[in-house]
Amino acid sequence: MNCTVKELYERKSVRAYTDEPITEEEKELILTSAIQAPTAGNMSLFSVIDVQSQEIKDILAERCDHQKFIASAPLVLVFLADCQKWYEMFQCYHSEAPAFAEGDLFLAMEDCMIAAQNAVTAAEALGIGSCYIGDMLENFEENQKLLHLPRYAVPLVLVTFGRPTEQQKNRAKPGRFCLNDMVFQDRYPDRTAEEWKDVFKRKTGMKEEELENYIAGYARRKFQADFKKEMDRSARAVIRNWIGENA
Protein backbone atom coordinates (compact mmCIF):
# COMPACT_ATOMS: atom_id res chain seq x y z
CA MET A 1 0.00 0.00 0.00
CA ASN A 2 1.22 3.50 -0.83
CA CYS A 3 2.63 5.17 2.31
CA THR A 4 0.34 8.21 2.00
CA VAL A 5 -2.74 6.01 1.67
CA LYS A 6 -1.54 3.89 4.60
CA GLU A 7 -1.26 7.00 6.77
CA LEU A 8 -4.79 8.04 5.79
CA TYR A 9 -6.08 4.59 6.74
CA GLU A 10 -4.26 4.56 10.09
CA ARG A 11 -4.71 8.18 11.16
CA LYS A 12 -6.78 8.62 14.34
CA SER A 13 -7.42 11.43 16.79
CA VAL A 14 -4.60 11.93 19.30
CA ARG A 15 -5.41 13.71 22.57
CA ALA A 16 -2.31 12.88 24.63
CA TYR A 17 1.14 14.07 23.62
CA THR A 18 4.72 13.56 24.74
CA ASP A 19 6.80 16.47 26.01
CA GLU A 20 8.89 16.50 22.83
CA PRO A 21 8.29 19.82 21.08
CA ILE A 22 7.40 20.29 17.45
CA THR A 23 10.36 21.94 15.74
CA GLU A 24 10.05 25.19 13.81
CA GLU A 25 10.91 23.29 10.63
CA GLU A 26 8.11 20.78 11.26
CA LYS A 27 5.63 23.54 12.02
CA GLU A 28 6.55 25.38 8.84
CA LEU A 29 6.04 22.18 6.82
CA ILE A 30 2.61 21.64 8.39
CA LEU A 31 1.55 25.23 7.73
CA THR A 32 2.99 25.33 4.22
CA SER A 33 1.12 22.13 3.42
CA ALA A 34 -2.09 23.84 4.54
CA ILE A 35 -1.38 26.80 2.26
CA GLN A 36 -0.87 24.40 -0.68
CA ALA A 37 -4.37 22.94 -0.29
CA PRO A 38 -6.90 22.97 -3.13
CA THR A 39 -8.87 26.22 -3.06
CA ALA A 40 -11.85 27.71 -4.89
CA GLY A 41 -10.62 29.87 -7.77
CA ASN A 42 -7.14 29.98 -6.20
CA MET A 43 -8.55 32.54 -3.75
CA SER A 44 -7.38 30.81 -0.54
CA LEU A 45 -10.54 31.69 1.37
CA PHE A 46 -9.01 30.71 4.70
CA SER A 47 -6.31 31.71 7.13
CA VAL A 48 -4.67 30.15 10.17
CA ILE A 49 -3.96 31.47 13.66
CA ASP A 50 -0.97 29.87 15.36
CA VAL A 51 -1.97 30.12 19.02
CA GLN A 52 1.22 30.59 21.04
CA SER A 53 -0.13 32.53 24.03
CA GLN A 54 -0.65 30.20 26.97
CA GLU A 55 -3.41 32.47 28.23
CA ILE A 56 -5.34 32.12 24.97
CA LYS A 57 -4.74 28.35 24.93
CA ASP A 58 -6.16 28.11 28.45
CA ILE A 59 -9.25 30.11 27.49
CA LEU A 60 -9.87 28.04 24.37
CA ALA A 61 -9.40 24.79 26.29
CA GLU A 62 -12.06 25.89 28.76
CA ARG A 63 -14.46 27.12 26.09
CA CYS A 64 -14.03 23.99 23.99
CA ASP A 65 -15.88 21.71 26.41
CA HIS A 66 -13.23 21.94 29.16
CA GLN A 67 -10.72 19.83 27.20
CA LYS A 68 -7.52 20.42 29.16
CA PHE A 69 -5.23 18.71 26.65
CA ILE A 70 -5.75 21.67 24.31
CA ALA A 71 -3.91 23.94 26.75
CA SER A 72 -0.86 21.67 26.86
CA ALA A 73 -0.70 20.70 23.18
CA PRO A 74 2.66 21.59 21.55
CA LEU A 75 0.90 23.21 18.57
CA VAL A 76 -2.58 24.72 18.46
CA LEU A 77 -3.93 26.05 15.17
CA VAL A 78 -7.27 27.76 14.58
CA PHE A 79 -8.45 27.55 10.98
CA LEU A 80 -10.60 30.43 9.76
CA ALA A 81 -13.06 30.64 6.89
CA ASP A 82 -11.74 33.97 5.65
CA CYS A 83 -12.84 36.35 2.88
CA GLN A 84 -11.47 39.45 4.63
CA LYS A 85 -8.46 39.92 2.34
CA TRP A 86 -10.71 39.87 -0.72
CA TYR A 87 -13.12 42.30 0.94
CA GLU A 88 -10.25 44.72 1.55
CA MET A 89 -9.03 44.45 -2.05
CA PHE A 90 -12.52 44.93 -3.46
CA GLN A 91 -12.79 48.08 -1.38
CA CYS A 92 -9.54 49.30 -2.90
CA TYR A 93 -10.04 48.35 -6.53
CA HIS A 94 -13.65 47.38 -7.24
CA SER A 95 -16.09 49.27 -5.06
CA GLU A 96 -19.07 47.90 -7.03
CA ALA A 97 -18.41 44.34 -5.86
CA PRO A 98 -21.46 42.97 -4.02
CA ALA A 99 -21.38 42.25 -0.31
CA PHE A 100 -20.40 38.74 0.73
CA ALA A 101 -23.37 36.44 1.30
CA GLU A 102 -24.14 32.93 2.54
CA GLY A 103 -22.66 31.21 -0.50
CA ASP A 104 -19.33 32.94 0.05
CA LEU A 105 -19.29 31.76 3.66
CA PHE A 106 -19.97 28.17 2.62
CA LEU A 107 -17.25 28.33 -0.04
CA ALA A 108 -14.77 29.70 2.50
CA MET A 109 -15.74 26.92 4.91
CA GLU A 110 -14.88 24.37 2.22
CA ASP A 111 -11.48 25.97 1.62
CA CYS A 112 -10.85 26.11 5.36
CA MET A 113 -11.54 22.43 6.05
CA ILE A 114 -9.51 21.28 3.05
CA ALA A 115 -6.55 23.31 4.33
CA ALA A 116 -6.95 21.86 7.82
CA GLN A 117 -6.93 18.32 6.45
CA ASN A 118 -3.79 19.09 4.43
CA ALA A 119 -2.11 20.18 7.66
CA VAL A 120 -3.28 17.05 9.48
CA THR A 121 -2.05 14.79 6.66
CA ALA A 122 1.35 16.50 6.57
CA ALA A 123 1.68 16.17 10.34
CA GLU A 124 0.84 12.47 10.16
CA ALA A 125 3.64 11.99 7.63
CA LEU A 126 6.02 13.58 10.15
CA GLY A 127 4.91 11.26 12.96
CA ILE A 128 2.90 14.05 14.59
CA GLY A 129 -0.63 13.30 15.79
CA SER A 130 -3.57 15.66 15.72
CA CYS A 131 -7.11 16.18 16.94
CA TYR A 132 -9.90 18.23 15.40
CA ILE A 133 -11.89 20.29 17.92
CA GLY A 134 -15.36 21.02 16.59
CA ASP A 135 -16.29 22.95 19.74
CA MET A 136 -14.62 25.94 18.09
CA LEU A 137 -18.02 26.47 16.45
CA GLU A 138 -19.37 27.57 19.84
CA ASN A 139 -18.99 30.95 21.58
CA PHE A 140 -18.55 32.83 18.31
CA GLU A 141 -18.77 36.35 19.70
CA GLU A 142 -16.32 35.68 22.54
CA ASN A 143 -13.81 33.94 20.27
CA GLN A 144 -14.16 36.70 17.70
CA LYS A 145 -13.01 39.18 20.36
CA LEU A 146 -10.35 36.87 21.78
CA LEU A 147 -8.70 36.33 18.39
CA HIS A 148 -9.32 39.88 17.12
CA LEU A 149 -11.26 38.67 14.09
CA PRO A 150 -12.73 41.00 11.46
CA ARG A 151 -16.22 40.52 10.06
CA TYR A 152 -15.31 38.12 7.26
CA ALA A 153 -13.04 35.79 9.24
CA VAL A 154 -14.86 32.98 11.06
CA PRO A 155 -13.22 30.44 13.43
CA LEU A 156 -14.33 27.11 11.99
CA VAL A 157 -12.14 24.49 13.64
CA LEU A 158 -9.27 24.20 16.11
CA VAL A 159 -6.66 21.50 15.60
CA THR A 160 -4.12 20.36 18.18
CA PHE A 161 -0.83 18.72 17.20
CA GLY A 162 1.82 16.76 19.08
CA ARG A 163 3.77 13.51 19.18
CA PRO A 164 1.49 10.71 20.40
CA THR A 165 2.21 8.87 23.62
CA GLU A 166 2.72 5.10 23.44
CA GLN A 167 -0.80 4.61 24.75
CA GLN A 168 -2.17 6.74 21.93
CA LYS A 169 -0.07 4.91 19.35
CA ASN A 170 -1.41 1.56 20.55
CA ARG A 171 -5.04 2.68 20.88
CA ALA A 172 -7.26 1.00 18.30
CA LYS A 173 -8.81 3.27 15.69
CA PRO A 174 -12.63 3.24 15.89
CA GLY A 175 -14.29 1.43 13.00
CA ARG A 176 -15.77 3.28 10.04
CA PHE A 177 -18.82 2.57 7.89
CA CYS A 178 -18.41 0.09 5.03
CA LEU A 179 -17.58 1.44 1.57
CA ASN A 180 -20.84 0.24 0.00
CA ASP A 181 -22.81 1.91 2.80
CA MET A 182 -21.18 5.29 2.14
CA VAL A 183 -20.78 5.53 -1.65
CA PHE A 184 -23.83 5.61 -3.92
CA GLN A 185 -24.07 5.42 -7.70
CA ASP A 186 -25.76 8.38 -9.40
CA ARG A 187 -28.43 8.98 -6.75
CA TYR A 188 -29.14 8.71 -3.03
CA PRO A 189 -30.72 5.33 -2.21
CA ASP A 190 -34.19 4.80 -0.81
CA ARG A 191 -33.58 2.74 2.31
CA THR A 192 -36.04 1.45 4.86
CA ALA A 193 -35.45 1.84 8.59
CA GLU A 194 -34.46 -1.83 8.73
CA GLU A 195 -31.89 -1.31 5.98
CA TRP A 196 -30.42 1.66 7.85
CA LYS A 197 -30.23 -0.50 10.97
CA ASP A 198 -28.22 -3.03 8.96
CA VAL A 199 -25.82 -0.25 7.91
CA PHE A 200 -25.10 0.54 11.56
CA LYS A 201 -24.93 -3.12 12.56
CA ARG A 202 -22.24 -3.69 9.94
CA LYS A 203 -20.27 -0.75 11.32
CA THR A 204 -20.59 -1.63 14.99
CA GLY A 205 -21.08 -5.40 15.01
CA MET A 206 -23.94 -4.83 17.44
CA LYS A 207 -27.22 -6.67 17.80
CA GLU A 208 -30.60 -4.91 17.97
CA GLU A 209 -30.70 -4.12 21.70
CA GLU A 210 -27.08 -2.97 21.77
CA LEU A 211 -27.68 -0.78 18.73
CA GLU A 212 -30.72 0.84 20.33
CA ASN A 213 -28.64 1.84 23.37
CA TYR A 214 -25.78 2.98 21.12
CA ILE A 215 -28.02 5.28 19.06
CA ALA A 216 -29.79 6.62 22.16
CA GLY A 217 -26.43 7.42 23.71
CA TYR A 218 -25.33 9.37 20.64
CA ALA A 219 -28.62 11.28 20.63
CA ARG A 220 -28.14 12.30 24.26
CA ARG A 221 -24.44 13.16 24.01
CA LYS A 222 -24.34 14.83 20.60
CA PHE A 223 -27.80 16.21 19.85
CA GLN A 224 -29.55 16.85 23.18
CA ALA A 225 -26.65 18.26 25.20
CA ASP A 226 -26.23 21.92 26.15
CA PHE A 227 -23.22 22.33 23.85
CA LYS A 228 -25.46 21.54 20.86
CA LYS A 229 -27.80 24.40 21.76
CA GLU A 230 -24.83 26.76 22.04
CA MET A 231 -23.33 25.52 18.77
CA ASP A 232 -26.61 26.15 16.95
CA ARG A 233 -26.97 29.61 18.51
CA SER A 234 -23.37 30.44 17.65
CA ALA A 235 -23.79 29.25 14.05
CA ARG A 236 -26.77 31.57 13.64
CA ALA A 237 -24.68 34.41 15.06
CA VAL A 238 -21.95 33.68 12.49
CA ILE A 239 -24.43 33.96 9.63
CA ARG A 240 -25.99 37.17 11.01
CA ASN A 241 -22.55 38.71 11.43
CA TRP A 242 -21.49 37.68 7.92
CA ILE A 243 -24.55 38.85 5.95
CA GLY A 244 -25.67 41.66 8.26
CA GLU A 245 -28.02 41.78 11.21
CA ASN A 246 -31.04 42.75 9.10
CA ALA A 247 -30.41 40.37 6.20
The verdict on pTM exceeding 0.85 is yes
Query: How far apart are the C-alpha atoms of 109 and 79, rounded to whole Å?
Result: 10
Note the pLDDT of residue 129.
98
Q: What would the DSSP string read from start to end of 127-176?
A: T-EEEEEGGGGS-HHHHHHHTT--TTEEEEEEEEEEPBPHHHHHSPPPP-
Per-residue pLDDT reduced to its tens digit, 232-241: 999 999 999 9
Indicate the class that CATH gives domain 3-172. alpha beta
pLDDT over 50 at 16, yes or no: yes
Of 43, 27, 47, 42, whose CA–CA distance to 112 is shortest? Answer: 47
Confidence of residue 247 (pLDDT cuts 50, 70, 90): very low
**What integer pLDDT is reported at residue 161 of this predicted model?**
99
| Domain residue ranges of the chain, discontinuous segments joined by + | 3-172
Residue 95, pLDDT score: 77
Q: Is the pLDDT of residue 1 over 70?
A: yes
Phi, psi of 177 (to 5 degrees): -65, 155
Each residue of 157-189: pLDDT tens digit? Answer: 999 999 999 999 999 999 999 999 999 999 999
Calculate the dihedral angle through the C-alpha atoms of 127, 128, 129, 130, rounding to the nearest 10 degrees: -150
pLDDT tens per residue, range 17-75: 999 999 999 999 999 999 999 999 999 999 999 999 999 999 999 999 999 999 999 99
| Mean pLDDT calculated for residue range 118-136 | 98
Looking at residue 245, its pLDDT comes to 65
Q: What mean pLDDT, rounded, does the chain reach?
A: 96
